[in-house]
Amino acid sequence: MKKKVVVFSQIDSKILAKLQELYDVRVLDPKQGDINTQIREEVVDAHGMIGAGRLLNESNLAPAKHLKIISTVSVGYDNYDVDYLNQRQIWLAHTPHVLTETTADLAFTLLMSAARQVPHLDRWTKSGEWKRTVAPAQFGQDIYGKTLGIIGLGNIGAAIARRGLYGFNMNILYHNRREKLALAQPLNATYCDLNTLLQSSDFVVVAVDLNTESEALIGKNELAQMQSHTVLVNISRGSVIDEVALIDALKQQQIFAAGLDVYQKEPLQSSELFELNNVVTLPHIGSATAQTRYKMAELAFKNLQTALDDQTPAYLVNPEFK
């Protein structure tokens, strides 16, 4: 008898076909009713789950009798109650590394777009406002040779730093809970405390994991430390930045601009951010290229398959039990 796998979000069709060859697959469909209700019903006799973008915790996983692994098609895992999964001895696997370069590309897309007011000036041009030589209100900020401050020098942070150093001859600062010499030295990156980074950087990119230490890491006081020409970019998690304080700083032109791919509440349906010309807003697309999303789905499939073959997946969030 085939083991049962629950697919709880949209997944690449080729990967779905592979799953269906090996397992008894149940694909959840929002059109068929409440997803949490479907999860509670289908998870009872499921051995594995694969997908992304759903809150999974005791409220919808409690009925599970045989669940061995949840394989998330993401690198972040703040949607999952890891403590509960540990209690139930359910593995959680994720997909690091394969999205590093694509996410770093997007960070620089946001940085450059915000620095040169690209979305605003695109709308400005199309609306017929371009009637004479541009005035200072349409000027942007130089990038080449400036100082780039990275909060969170992990794999993605280091990839962003490489783009800054080798593409734009930028001076690299970074802040972490601890120094990362192996990553920092090849980048000529200087470790500093958060306040020094905020005060000294022309561009600040937030690339930390979301945890108790990083939640609301950037608030009113931190924004006040930045220079008036600073561009702030967030490609980590929305809760790392106090959105209300950021909106106020942008309104008051306390900083030059922001580029955001993540928000405190997603999907973002309405926000004062939409009314501001000095912010670039994207719908959480850090890894959203066809090639990278396929690689993520492929790795998630491998994690799931390995676990259901009674072996240990390579990319476990909670490897404490085996």
- The H or E element spanning position 54 is none
Question: What is the DSSP code string of 179-195?
Answer: --HHHHGGGTPEE--HH
Residue with structure tokens 């405390």?
193
Q: Name the residues annotated as catalytic.
A: 237, 266, 284
How buried is 265 (Cβ within 10 angstroms: 0-12 exposed, 13-18 middle, 19+ buried)? exposed
- Residue-wise burial string across 117-131, b where 16 or more C-beta atoms lie within 10 A, e elsewhere: bbbbbeebeeeeeee
DSSP-assigned letters across all residues of 134-175 = PPGGG-----TT-EEEEE--SHHHHHHHHIIIIIH--EEEEE
User: For the chain, what's the residue count?
Assistant: 322
DSSP tally for the chain: helices H, then strands E = 13, 12
Both structure tokens of 272: 């004062």
* Cα first-last separation, the chain: 24
